[in-house]
Amino acid sequence: MKSITRYLTLNTSKRMELINITSQVRKAVEESQVKEGLCLVNAMHISASVFINDNESGLHYDFEKWLEKLAPHNPIEQYKHNDTGEDNADAHLKRQVMGREVVVAITSGKLDFGPWEQIYYGEFDGQRPKRVLIKILGE
Amino acid sequence: MKSITRYLTLNTSKRMELINITSQVRKAVEESQVKEGLCLVNAMHISASVFINDNESGLHYDFEKWLEKLAPHNPIEQYKHNDTGEDNADAHLKRQVMGREVVVAITSGKLDFGPWEQIYYGEFDGQRPKRVLIKILGE
Amino acid sequence: MKSITRYLTLNTSKRMELINITSQVRKAVEESQVKEGLCLVNAMHISASVFINDNESGLHYDFEKWLEKLAPHNPIEQYKHNDTGEDNADAHLKRQVMGREVVVAITSGKLDFGPWEQIYYGEFDGQRPKRVLIKILGE
């Protein structure tokens, strides 16, 4: 059995931002030399997501607008969590809608993807460095 | 270590439809001869889901109605993604609520399930062939 | 390859409740003696979740209030599923928002966690015994 572990660090310029990390994950798969296996990619912070969806900027705009409707940032006083001095309760909620992680199959040494699948980091409380973990297991 | 990869193709008659794929996954587990392992099942398209929930038609009706409320299909102009000529932005959002994938334990050669767990394919932009991936790893 | 399987049984005093199960999962990782691997933790019931988020009681209050807004329990007649005699359709919906499972990397014999990650059991139809599965695979 082979395994490798990689960490990415992301620091967004905006509070909410969606970043395509597919090429970094592909690189880790190549380095692992795993031919048949599983690749876990997860946010290591609890106000961020890793998810798979479309590489289309209009859809990213739609996602951000929709998440803001489902779990609005303002007024920050609507959340008990923000009584602790934080202002990111909404980010913890948004992350649950989008998910913490993806698990992707590796087949014949490659991410076994459908035609449009791209891996995204979803930041909902950004402007500071945060980490993503890539763990690959297989042989 | 053993591994197998299987692909299912689904073509729904309706735009939104939930289809029980548990028996197909069980068949793959048997074929794999894996006794202890993990089974990943994921949608390969980004406007569809794989999830685990109840085999009860009333609940499926509730899911569809609820998803339509959280992320309505109409008016299609409300989504920037649909400016590209698509009309399926809502399907990309619905898929995030329901999830892309499930990972199921295999114990003593079987899906290690609770009493009511059933694996569903959730289609939100159907009426064309789409694929589901089953990847099994273990020994 | 090593693997172990553990089952937890939880019986909440309230209908909706979030319970930190991180220490039980850590114990299973130690018992497994897996150094590099993957740890799946999932609810075995379809009106409950396993998810990773913050150990902060204000946020837990926010989660419960928010889930009640997204998928209200009352009036129970609003859901077709409840025509079967159940009153838990909302719990099936809430579980989809929060997710069924988490997959966590094991690195150097430990859960490879960011600074705030904690594993929670989310109960949405409690007051009876329900099970959580922990499956660890690696070497």
Residue B89 forms contact with A (CB below 8 Å): yes
CA dihedral angle for residue C47, residue A100, residue B5, residue C4, rounded to 10 degrees: -70
Residue A124: DSSP 8-state: S
Cα separations in angstroms, B107 against A63, A97, C86: 38, 30, 31
**Mean of all residue pLDDT scores within chain A:** 98
Give the contacts of A88 (CB within 8 A, at least 6 positions apart). A47, A81, A82, A124, A125
pLDDT digits (tens, 9 = 90+) for C81-95: 999 999 999 999 999
How many helical (H) and strand (E) elements, i.e. helices and strands, does chain C have? 3, 8
Structure tokens belonging to residue C134? 């922990």
Average pLDDT over residues B49-72: 98
Residue C93 forms contact with A (CB below 8 Å): no
> Which residue does chain B place closest to C5, by CA atoms?
B107
Which residues of chain C are within 8 Å of residue A97 when distances are taken between CB atoms?
Answer: 97
The answer to whether residues B36 and B28 touch, using CB atoms and an 8 Å cutoff, is no
Cα separations in angstroms, C85 against C44, C55, C67, C76, C82: 22, 35, 22, 10, 5
CB atoms within 10 A of CB C111: 16
The pLDDT-based confidence of C135 (bands split at 50, 70, 90) is: very high
Among the partner residues B70, B89, B131, nearest to A114 by beta-carbon distance: B131
Pick the closest to residue B106 from A31, C136, C128 (CA basis).
C136
**C-alpha to C-alpha distance for C95 and A98, rounded to whole angstroms:** 14
pLDDT of residue A38: 98
**C-alpha to C-alpha distance for A132 and A117, rounded to whole angstroms:** 18
Handedness of CA C21, C22, C23, C26 (dihedral sign): positive
**C-alpha to C-alpha distance for A122 and B130, rounded to whole angstroms:** 26
The answer to whether residues A126 and A17 touch, using CB atoms and an 8 Å cutoff, is yes
pLDDT of residue A37: 98
Which residue has 């007024």 as its token pair?
A: A75
CB atoms within 10 A of CB B80: 17
Among the partner residues B38, B53, B113, nearest to C92 by beta-carbon distance: B53
pLDDT of residue A6: 98
pLDDT of residue C4: 98
3-class SS at B59? Answer: helix
pLDDT of residue A128: 96
Which residues of chain A are within 8 Å of residue C58 when distances are taken between CB atoms?
Answer: 79-84, 89
Residue B75: DSSP 8-state: S
Q: Order of strands across the sheet with C118-123?
A: C17-20, C118-123, C48-53
pLDDT of residue A7: 98
Which residues of chain A are within 8 Å of residue B100 when distances are taken between CB atoms?
Answer: 51-52, 99, 102
pLDDT of residue B67: 98
The answer to whether residues A76 and A91 touch, using CB atoms and an 8 Å cutoff, is no
Cross-chain residue pair C5–B105, CB shorter than 8 Å? yes
The pLDDT-based confidence of B20 (bands split at 50, 70, 90) is: very high
Percentage of residues in chain C having pLDDT higher than 70: 100
Distance from CA of B117 to the nearest CA of A (A): 20
The pLDDT-based confidence of A59 (bands split at 50, 70, 90) is: very high
Question: A with B: how many residue pairs have Cβ under 8 Å apart?
Answer: 93
> Which residue does chain A place closest to C111, by CA atoms?
A44
Among the partner residues B63, B116, B138, nearest to C45 by beta-carbon distance: B116
**Mean of all residue pLDDT scores within chain B:** 98
| Long-range contacts (CB closer than 8 Å, 24 or more residues apart) made by B88-91 | B88/B47, B88/B124, B88/B125, B89/A58, B89/A59, B89/A62, B90/B124, B91/B47, B91/B48, B91/B124, B91/B125
pLDDT of residue B19: 98
pLDDT of residue C12: 97
**C-alpha to C-alpha distance for A116 and B92, rounded to whole angstroms:** 12
Residue A30 forms contact with B (CB below 8 Å): no
Residue A54 forms contact with B (CB below 8 Å): yes
**C-alpha to C-alpha distance for B93 and B97, rounded to whole angstroms:** 7
pLDDT digits (tens, 9 = 90+) for C34-66: 999 999 999 999 999 999 999 999 999 999 999
- In degrees rounded to 5, what are phi and psi of residue B75? -75, 140
Which residues of chain A are within 8 Å of residue C32 when distances are taken between CB atoms?
Answer: none
**Which chains would you list as touching A if contact means 3+ CB atom pairs under 8 Å?**
B, C
3-class SS at C67? Answer: helix
Among the partner residues C42, C46, C81, nearest to B62 by beta-carbon distance: C81
